[in-house]
Structure 1
Amino acid sequence: MGMAEELGEGGSCLWGSGFDGPVPPGCDNVVIVWNVGTAKELYRLDSMHPDLIYDVSWSHNGSLFCSACKDKSVRIVDPRRGVVVAEKERAHEGARPMRAIFLADGKIFTTGFCRMSERQLALWDPVSWGLNRYRGQRCPGGESSGCGVP
């Protein structure tokens, strides 16, 4: 099966600086790292997400990626070793989708919702998962249905 067949109609891709190809976060709870030069699969990470993957973002140097999952967890994954390096459960309590991105300084910025469906922003330190700021602050336009793209 090639990249086009694997991505299907609903697939999406993210390009990583540390690889020669994209990473599609999948509806089947699988993340695949491809080498687009050869159209070969480099890594298939299929046991790290128990539910739908909402978002994937590469670290600045391309060695790790973070992901936001429907189970409300944010995970940091080392795709070369195939392991979850760190995990923050219940990063946002709400049922709506959330997003997570790696920042240049190694912190993780997330957007999500509280249980009352008010939008939340959070800045996390992935070493201690200590919250730096913003969590619980209401945001302008916080009642919109979208998850917000950080």
Structure 2
Amino acid sequence: MAAFEVESVLWCLAADNLKGKSTVLEVIWWCLRGKNKRLQDTARRWISHVRLEGHIDGDPFSVEFRHKDGVPTGRLDTGKATPAVDFTGEAEFASVMSQFMMNRLNLEILGWHSDVKGEQDGKCVVAKGVPVR
């Protein structure tokens, strides 16, 4: 498949039904999240190599992986002074991308904590256990 560049303008992906529009978007999501349960198994089996380049707040990054026997193996390159991060498998891929996105977007990981097991009312907490107000 040929590479294409998306300019900083309005763009769309259009075609008749069942032509792969959603699959293209799901592959992009897969790159950004490190996991994708919505991508159809048939489409997943067709994929052997993916590379996505982008910028967040002007800083470049790239995600590249090979997909063999259902296992993504690849690398996240942040384009900064930090070294590239390699990953093998969906769990590691998801962890690498989650940490990268949370850090790059300056977000905190939130969770839910309740003192009583099964209690609906609780406190939203950040990953370090500090309650969020």
More helix by share: 2
TM-score by length of 1: 0.30
TM-score by length of 2: 0.32
Greater Rg by CA: 2
